[in-house]
Chains A and B, each alone.
Chain A
């Protein structure tokens, strides 16, 4: 008879444990559930479940909530979502939304215009934790002539309303109406029992680990092909890349250099897209260094932008000579400011740079706290030093950056120069809050204190123009003035990347600003047979 001693038993138990662990790294969800890092990268907002408080994360939120309108998958045109048709009046002071019939919430209740009116009213009430309050300030009231019609009456014309509405998730009146408005943002409803009208419905949230959704069989476009979707949280994109390579997830945003490492890997597809974020060198106009436009032009011509895009960004960016690169609002007659250090030196000499600042170092602040940007800034630092402008890069986190540039009163010595990004589309009016004089803090985000009368005039004209064609022409004028006056030194618009497993079909993704909102067609996502 074979008898195990105590020592043998322990060894056997440990052996079985190790074998079990090694043989099966981890239990995996069902084959028909897509797992992704949906909140990885700049478009994500992990841990946020309240769409009214969301500054990003709309890609994920759009899987279980829904909006009245959405951009298409290329962020070119705005199309209906819960609204089958939108009719603005001639002067864009009223928008009529015709809702789809037979849409239901995840609990089976019908979606009606009362929900639309309720959502707008809730979003305008800052007690609810909404950050849409001022963005929706132009909506004077919402009327609901019938259950399938909602009319937004505006206090002044707005050509940008629909862009805002692409990020405003509709919320259920019957579920939220009875909850107290004060502290609504910390009500457990958002993380326990939220309901929307999207293709998937909420199952559960494991704090800082993952969020699980399941298919909504009553979805208006038909039951999704996937049984569910899981959003796994990662501390950074490098961790998500590890999970991608380990086969634990099928999708994630990745950094440009990480994307290149997937080239030639048949198991994955690389999906590039316009980031709609223009990177620029911001001149602080409240300081005396940048008052002369010749100095600003010298900065532009001292930097070999094309070389940086080629060598450091590996082509993952498109040069920008003004605030836009998108076709309709970017005129062809912009000065390209080619790399010309001799001309830059001459411009500085003509402007008297020796007397303005000379060789004294200037702090160059950024919130892009990555090795890639560190390399970019080091290269630009060397190029600027070649022509006599001495800058010292300072990389800080977002909170520190915002704490410095929004401080009241600002300490100008801390940011005479910044390297930053600004959202420049798909709605061209988005740029207004960074560069219009009326938007100097505390009114807006013109942190570099740009005061350019010609630019203000061009912006105000474009923003107030109800006619679409004239509006585009107006933003072209903005681009021309910006290109001439260079309140910032525009550099490039980066390309961002998503990685998706090759066996996932019909996956629509684009690196939209804040993650959305665009038509992801999530009901069509499927694993290839």
Chain B
């Protein structure tokens, strides 16, 4: 087990290096740079000012020098300074945004997993009934609706029309921060975030549980007179959970993508919004730093998912 973890950590390190090289190269191939994003085309700056700005940001150095300087600092934990945000340290900005993203993704995923498991179980147990058809139809709708569209509709209906939720942000400005206020701001984006994930989880849960319910050991348990609830929850469900765990683990990467949309629509001050703003501003250090941290998180979650397999299914041995 230890050898397995060490090997995965080493591989993750190499993948992060590759990711940083790839990100650096792609960013430099993208038209524009932090200075060109800074200039208002309707009120441009003089060349002297542009040159001074480029020098101050270190963009007048060769690309290998720029990358090596970044990599050397990154190894020591210094991810550089944002070229926007008053040139704040990237590490501080990323750390500041990790919390809101974890809160949004965590609550969204929790909601999605609990809801997905419950509805999946109901759908499997009541397979081919009207309830199953309704749930299957809703899940198809949830999967096929783009997350940004769901977010915009949710915002318009629940915030603008009904006034049940705030129209964005993490807390009301100008008043003391309270958990209740954060919760009020969290409900709508977390629910929107949960919809797609929930429907996916539900469909996987339904399929896996139906398959498990058809297995010999379930038939045996029923034949022995075990109560149906116990058959489902103790015998079938545990075996059906494996593909669902895989899905939840694998969906974390996609969840980051979803978080970017949701944070943009709801102005939620997390990593997604930070990254979107950084891309628009061609804020190289911030894009690199945020992508590196997100990449590291996805790798860690993947590793934890693999470790969880072994915990759920003792037949799986990690070597």
Contacts and interface: CB of A to CB of B under 8 A. Distances in A.
A248 B41 contact: no
Interface string B83-120: 01111100001001100000000000000000000000
Interface stretch (A49-57, A150-158, A291-299): A49-57
Interface residues of A, number: 78
Nearest to A33: B174
A246 B167 contact: yes
B160 A420 contact: no
B32 A399 contact: yes
B183 A27 contact: no
B273 interface: yes
Given A239-B167, A246-B166, A403 B32 contact: yes
B47 interface: yes
Contacts of A208: 267, 269, 273-274, 277
Given A209-B267, A402-B41, A22 B164 contact: yes
Interface in B150-178: 155-156, 159-160, 163-175, 178
A24 interface: yes
A401 B267 contact: no
How many B residues are at the interface, by size bracket?
35 or more
B216 interface: no
A397 interface: yes
B311 interface: no
B92 to A, nearest CB: 10
Nearest to A24: B184
Interface in A370-429: 396-404, 406, 420-423
B162 to A, nearest CB: 9
B30 to A, nearest CB: 8
Nearest to B174: A29
B309 interface: no
B42 A513 contact: yes
B265 A239 contact: yes
Contact of B42 (A20, A134, A232, A421): A421
A20 B267 contact: no
B12 to A, nearest CB: 29
A207 B30 CA distance: 27
Interface in A220-266: 228, 230, 232-235, 239, 242-243, 245-248
Interface in B175-220: 175, 178, 180-181, 183-185, 187
Contacts of A144: none
Interface string A207-219: 1111010000000
Contacts of A26: 165-166, 171-172, 181, 184-185
Contacts of B31: 396, 399-400, 403-404
A443 interface: yes
Nearest to A214: B174
A21 B184 contact: yes
Given A185-B87, A397-B280, A422-B42, A246 B163 contact: yes
Which of B32, B159, B180 has most A Cβ within 10 Å? B32
Contacts of A29: 172-175
A399 B174 contact: no
Contacts of B96: 207
Interface stretch (B18-26, B48-56, B125-133): B48-56
29 contacts: A21-B164, A21-B180, A26-B185, A27-B178, A35-B173, A35-B174, A49-B86, A129-B56, A135-B49, A185-B56, A209-B169, A209-B267, A210-B169, A210-B173, A210-B174, A234-B168, A235-B265, A243-B168, A367-B41, A396-B31, A398-B37, A399-B281, A400-B32, A401-B32, A401-B41, A420-B41, A421-B42, A423-B43, A513-B43
Given A29-B172, A208-B277, A400-B32, 12 more contacts: A21-B164, A26-B181, A133-B52, A135-B46, A186-B81, A212-B173, A230-B174, A235-B273, A397-B32, A402-B32, A406-B36, A421-B42
Interface of B: 30-33, 35-53, 56, 81, 84-88, 93, 96-97, 155-156, 159-160, 163-175, 178, 180-181, 183-185, 187, 264-265, 267, 269, 273-274, 276-277, 280-282
